[in-house]
Structure 1
């Protein structure tokens, strides 16, 4: 291990209490089972996209009110953020296959129940939709955190970049296919029938997890699973996640960088309709094509990222991905034609997949196993706070500035913030920052070799 890596090993002193808590080597899940596991999570992501399409559409059709549709968005988003820290504690204490089965079963049951209530209680449709949105939000948060915690327990470190790229690829594919399939289904079926389709999709993911339980049961939890899960223990777990994060300067740098990326992306998304229709005077269908273009770019990164990350150290890979996102934001702000705008928008959103693979892999390498899920939950909470902040910025400045000017301003602000984060992010130039990172030290583990 290099001198620099040894220095950064002390980033989290005393986190293992001075004892050797490393887990012994173990057998990882075989390739075919990993493929089925990832495929099941991809199907769940497709269900998420159906949900994102169906809930706003149903809300607007029921009420004809943009403000009521906005209320649904708030109900759909707020419970997720509030529940994330609790989801992290559960993921450290409860085996992931139980969390997957539970969250997917709940989502399937909620969707099918909501579909039935639309016919049985027609006067309560909006309330049914609110309860559906809130329940799906909480279950989705638990499933997402469980996924972050599961990969390090079953995938060797030397395969982590590839595994994260595949996960990112399935998510990007669902973002391209999901809205198209949902639109086709909505044109052939009543909109409420989408709820039944969503229920069936999550039912299939539940069955897929059940067939993999033989392998998923073998995971070793490093959290204190012997202590009863009470309100006090959950609060203690959340505190441990915050404390762990504060002891990892490199991860703090990643959090700050991710927040600036989410700000740029959030402003870009919040201003995309106004720019497409209001500035470039394009029809609505061109607005829908923006997300498809971004999804296609994201899928292309799936093939490139594993090769790029082998040639670059984590810091260089991270700054490369960030630079692409910022260039896309600059193009969005300065575009003179819709073609220029659409291409820039695709780069802005599409290259986020590259960025996500790098930050997810580094989090796995650097966060200690015993606090991994609860720390990840705090990180995701902080990362997502900049999304409503982006909406607030657009709301405040849209009367004084054009949508493109606001997008350009978000990029300038982001770059200034990142310049202050460089001392923290520079710690990523080495591969290993903690003596007991989240994955086991398997064969060809860069963290063990000190490369």
Structure 2
């Protein structure tokens, strides 16, 4: 988790550096938008393939491969910025696309690793730790990147990013004795070919269709991502345009949300023990909606900032619950490929949120748009209740942690 947390910090450095470099190079918002597209489109397209790989290939190999590729890309891009100054924008595009693929593979591999090593009775705690490391990186990453950018040339951030991913590679190498004990449930014997990958993607889709509770979770997550996406997309306009605050106050919003998210790391495991999954999910969803309503009705920036922190920060609670239920209900032999399809569907809400904001801002205020998203989400959830009600029925696949304790290198020492 420490190593993956460091990788998440590298991701945050990357999210800071690439748009900043693109805008400095071109001075064009549209070109910066193109970089954003190049950064996310390959990730979404590659997710199903990453899921098939995670079910067929040990996570140790996937972590090593993705981190080496990302480290090499960042250091190569840093070098090319000086060697070929006229090709800086093209270099950034290639860097963004390559990092996108590596990030997708690493993320899906992590999702697949947990149920192979963590017992089900410890899953809530493990998922809370992951959520805590992600939220910490989201708070610390932009701050550290900004400090580095003030002391170093912006292009030097690429070298820093390369070093960070190099350190995550060393971290994985240091854990090779443990990670190599991983058991792949139902791993296919035939070689991984184009045809077998397509077949694996089809198996992931087929598995998802047979799990009503997971289908309900996907629909619910898409509505949450829509609310959060619209909240994020309108936050700058609301802070500067509606409440007339200086640009620096915009950073306060993300920091507040990150702090609330970190607090969930301590609270969620205790709450989860006292509530069934359906109740915990509805509680977290209600908190997100409450934050959205507060954002829409805020009359002062202080009210807006607190509501925004609730809207984004309590998503951590929501994520821990849905991740745990996915581990509990998805068959082990199809876990990663199914998770990849789920993540793809969930992330589709983010570009849709951006499109809706672009479409509606000419007719409605940013706060009215977020209120509309909350109302629309609530209406959709009413339709999803029959699927989500399946969460009340306990269900877990046998052998929740097939690798736990098997061939443990520490066994011989005890």
Report the TM-score, using the length of structure 2 for normalisation: 0.96
- In the alignment, what sits opposite 1:26? none
**RMSD over aligned Cα atoms:** 1.2
- Does residue 83 in structure 1 map to residue 46 in structure 2? yes
Report the Cα offset of residue 222 of structure 1: 1.5
- In the alignment, what sits opposite 2:63? 100
- Does residue 234 in structure 1 map to residue 234 in structure 2? no
Q: Is the 8 A contact 1:369 1:439 kept in 2?
A: no
- In the alignment, what sits opposite 1:449? none
- In the alignment, what sits opposite 2:412? none
For residues 69-114 of structure 1, the C-alpha deviation after alignment (integer angstroms, 9 at most, x for no partner) is 0000000000000000000000000000000000001000000000
- Which of 334, 350, 354 is the equivalent residue of 1:391? 354
**Which stretches of structure 1, 4 residues or longer, exceed 3 Å deviation after superposition?**
434-443
- In the alignment, what sits opposite 1:352? 315
Q: Is the 8 A contact 1:368 1:438 kept in 2?
A: no
- Find the aligned partners of 1:441 and 1:249 in 2 and give their Cα distance: 28
Report the Cα offset of residue 430 of structure 1: 2.6
- Which of 119, 131, 136 is the equivalent residue of 1:156? 119
Report the TM-score, using the length of structure 1 for normalisation: 0.89
Report the Cα offset of residue 225 of structure 1: 3.2
Q: Is the 8 A contact 2:117 2:404 kept in 1?
A: no
- In the alignment, what sits opposite 2:368? 405
Report the Cα offset of residue 288 of structure 1: 1.2
- Find the aligned partners of 1:100 and 1:115 in 2 and give their Cα distance: 22
- Find the aligned partners of 2:400 and 2:39 in 1 and give their Cα distance: 31
Residue segments in structure 1 that go unaligned for 5+ positions in a row: 1-37, 444-451
Q: Is the 8 A contact 2:117 2:403 kept in 1?
A: no
- Which of 160, 170, 185 is the equivalent residue of 2:133? 170
- Find the aligned partners of 1:157 and 1:213 in 2 and give their Cα distance: 23
Q: Is the 8 A contact 2:183 2:402 kept in 1?
A: no
- Which of 131, 135, 151 is the equivalent residue of 1:188? 151
- Find the aligned partners of 2:19 and 2:247 in 1 and give their Cα distance: 16
For residues 338-376 of structure 1, the C-alpha deviation after alignment (integer angstroms, 9 at most, x for no partner) is 000000000000000000000000000000000000000
Residue segments in structure 2 that go unaligned for 5+ positions in a row: 406-414
- In the alignment, what sits opposite 1:310? 273
Report the Cα offset of residue 281 of structure 1: 0.5
- Find the aligned partners of 1:441 and 1:142 in 2 and give their Cα distance: 21
- In the alignment, what sits opposite 1:371? 334
- Does residue 140 in structure 1 map to residue 103 in structure 2? yes
- Find the aligned partners of 2:323 and 2:14 in 1 and give their Cα distance: 25
- Find the aligned partners of 1:135 and 1:149 in 2 and give their Cα distance: 22
- Find the aligned partners of 2:222 and 2:165 in 1 and give their Cα distance: 30
Q: Is the 8 A contact 2:328 2:397 kept in 1?
A: no
- Find the aligned partners of 1:80 and 1:429 in 2 and give their Cα distance: 34
Q: Is the 8 A contact 2:264 2:316 kept in 1?
A: yes
Report the Cα offset of residue 436 of structure 1: 3.7
Q: Is the 8 A contact 1:94 1:225 kept in 2?
A: no
- In the alignment, what sits opposite 1:296? 259
- Which of 126, 130, 139 is the equivalent residue of 2:89? 126
- In the alignment, what sits opposite 1:273? 236
- In the alignment, what sits opposite 2:409? none
- Find the aligned partners of 1:352 and 1:270 in 2 and give their Cα distance: 16
- Find the aligned partners of 2:85 and 2:150 in 1 and give their Cα distance: 22
Report the Cα offset of residue 226 of structure 1: 1.3
CA shift in 2, pair 1:138/1:318, >3 Å: same
Report the Cα offset of residue 118 of structure 1: 0.3
- Does residue 258 in structure 1 map to residue 199 in structure 2? no
CA shift in 2, pair 1:403/1:213, >3 Å: same
Report the Cα offset of residue 260 of structure 1: 0.3
Q: Is the 8 A contact 2:64 2:169 kept in 1?
A: yes
Secondary structure (helix, strand or coil) at the match of 2:299 reads coil
- In the alignment, what sits opposite 2:8? 45
- Does residue 319 in structure 1 map to residue 288 in structure 2? no
Q: Is the 8 A contact 2:204 2:334 kept in 1?
A: yes
- Find the aligned partners of 1:213 and 1:436 in 2 and give their Cα distance: 26
- Find the aligned partners of 2:13 and 2:315 in 1 and give their Cα distance: 21
